[in-house]
């Protein structure tokens, strides 16, 4: 929720759209350093939470700055990220907030395993510098060298965390789908949760980000879409709305705000989610709504598919070119010897023949 004018305004804005839980940036997402909260801001935040029925320990899920990378291989940049990270954690505790969600970062050009160790190390540092806030790792879509697109990444980091009570996981539906985990319907989502339980453990599930996906399955593209408009479709959101194991944790909308819209638009999707509770997939009115929303997003899905296919074609050409180069390199080898040794042998052989001819003339 927007918090311009003071962090406490996020509570008022959440109440306006009928949200039972909400996310907020604790400081500007575009600056490394922001001014501290005043005691007046902190007090007002607490008063408004109590007035509107929000429990800061369980109902509010702040989002960390996107440029925080605790796995950065450059020590100075790693430390800069850590300072912003721990500042966020301390702000949470000033406000009495019990959960903090962040992106796990990227290994960049470094060894992936070592990057996971840096991430685990810095999470442990943050926990030791604070008292109660739970650090929630969000799964990612898988673009580039991002950490967290594979559940195994998150599982390994959690193994490194010393205080297991202070670590959790946020499932982002768009990221999950784009990373190659098919969750389009109840059966497929059930398989994903089974995998989650095996690799991480359902006891670590602390929150959910609800987003449809503009990009196709397994595209590794982090492109959020309005519910029911994207490639995921409405069914997964009906499933989640009726899943008992998701009760009691913050479920946050991160769908895009179009030009001319504001956070009040989220109120419409909250109404949609409430409407989905109790609905069966064969209910006539549900089927109609599903088709209606899918039709609204058809044009954007087609546009994204075209872009995806062009990108796939480019990547395939690049792969073939690289393979061709490797084949060419392999072709210059014969019987385990490279071209330099072959040329050397030819040179040596030629010299020997010349010597023989000279000997014959003598």
Q: Which among 172, 229, 231, 238 is annotated as catalytic?
A: 172
177 as an active site residue: the answer is: no
Those residues with Cβ within 8 angstroms of residue 60's Cβ, 6 or more apart along the chain or in another chain: 21, 22, 23, 24, 49, 54, 97, 98, 99, 250
Residues 99 and 109: their CA atoms lie apart, in Å, by 31
Query: What is the number of other CB atoms lying within 10 angstroms of the CB of residue 118?
Result: 22
Q: Are strands 212-213 and 224-225 parallel, antiparallel or unpaired?
A: antiparallel
**Residues paired with residue 63 on neighbouring β-strands, in sequence order:** 25, 101
| Calpha distance 123→104 (Å, rounded) | 10
Q: Which of 93, 254, 263, 300 is catalytic?
A: 254
One of 8, 54, 59, 63 is an active-site residue; which one?
A: 63
User: What one-character DSSP code corresponds to residue 203?
Assistant: G
For residue 55, CA distances in Å to 43, 49, 101, 155 come to: 14, 7, 17, 29
**Is residue 163 flagged as an active site residue?**
no
- Interacting residues of 248 by C-beta distance below 8 A, sequence separation 6+: 58
Partnered with residue 100 across adjacent β-strands are 135
Distance linking the first and last C-alpha atoms of the chain: 99
Catalytic residue (choose from 91, 221, 224, 301): 224
Cα angle 103, 44, 101; round to 5: 10
* Catalytically annotated residue among 59, 153, 222, 235: 222
Q: Which of 91, 118, 175, 221 is catalytic?
A: 175
**Residue 143 is a catalytic residue:** no
Using CA atoms, how far apart are residues 303 and 298, in angstroms rounded to an integer?
A: 9
Q: Check 59, 78, 138, 212 and give the catalytic one.
A: 138
Q: Single out the catalytic residue among 91, 118, 166, 209.
A: 209
Q: Is 138 a catalytic residue?
A: yes
Q: Annotated catalytic, 30?
A: yes
Encoded tokens for 84? 């912003």
Q: Give the active site residue among 31, 36, 66, 79.
A: 66
Which candidate in 30, 52, 311, 333 is catalytic? Answer: 30
The yes-or-no answer on residue 222 being catalytic is: yes
Annotation marks residue 315 as catalytic: no
Whether 254 is catalytic is yes
Asked about 66 being catalytic, the answer comes back as yes
Per annotation, catalytic residue among 91, 103, 166, 221? 103
Catalytic residues: 30, 63, 66, 103, 138, 172, 175, 209, 222, 224, 254
């Amino acid at each position: 929720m927007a918090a311009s004018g003071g962090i406490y305004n996020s509570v008022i804005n959440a109440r306006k759209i009928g949200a039972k839980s909400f996310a907020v940036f604790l400081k500007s997402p575009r600056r490394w350093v922001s001014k501290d909260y005043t005691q007046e801001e902190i007090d007002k935040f607490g008063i408004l939470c109590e007035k509107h029925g929000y429990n800061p320990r369980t109902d509010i899920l702040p989002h960390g700055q996107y440029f925080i990378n605790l796995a950065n291989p450059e020590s100075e940049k790693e430390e800069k990220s850590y300072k912003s990270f721990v500042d966020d954690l301390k702000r949470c505790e000033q406000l009495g907030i019990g959960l903090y969600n962040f992106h796990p970062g990227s290994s960049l050009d470094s060894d992936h395993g070592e990057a996971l160790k840096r991430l685990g190390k810095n999470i442990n540092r943050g926990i030791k510098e604070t008292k109660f806030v739970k650090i929630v790792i969000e799964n990612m879509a898988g673009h580039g060298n991002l950490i967290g697109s594979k559940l195994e990444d998150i599982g390994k980091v959690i193994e490194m965390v010393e205080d297991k009570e202070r670590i959790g996981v946020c499932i982002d539906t768009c990221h999950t789908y784009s990373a190659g985990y098919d969750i389009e319907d109840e059966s497929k989502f059930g398989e994903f949760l089974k995998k989650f339980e095996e690799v991480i453990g359902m006891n670590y599930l602390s929150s959910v980000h609800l987003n449809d996906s503009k990009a196709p399955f397994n595209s590794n593209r982090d492109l959020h879409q309005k519910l029911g408009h994207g490639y995921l479709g409405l069914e997964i959101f009906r499933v989640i709305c009726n899943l008992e194991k998701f009760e009691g944790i913050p479920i946050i909308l991160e769908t895009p705000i179009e030009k001319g819209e504001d956070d009040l638009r989220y109120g419409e999707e909250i109404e949609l989610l409430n409407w989905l509770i109790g609905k069966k997939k064969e209910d006539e009115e549900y089927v109609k709504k599903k088709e209606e929303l899918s039709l609204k997003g058809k044009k954007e899905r087609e546009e994204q598919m075209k872009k995806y296919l062009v990108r796939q074609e480019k990547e395939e050409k690049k792969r073939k070119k690289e393979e061709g180069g490797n084949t060419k390199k392999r072709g210059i080898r014969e019987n385990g010897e490279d071209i330099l040794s072959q040329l050397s042998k030819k040179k040596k052989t030629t010299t020997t023949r010349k010597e023989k001819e000279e000997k014959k003339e003598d």
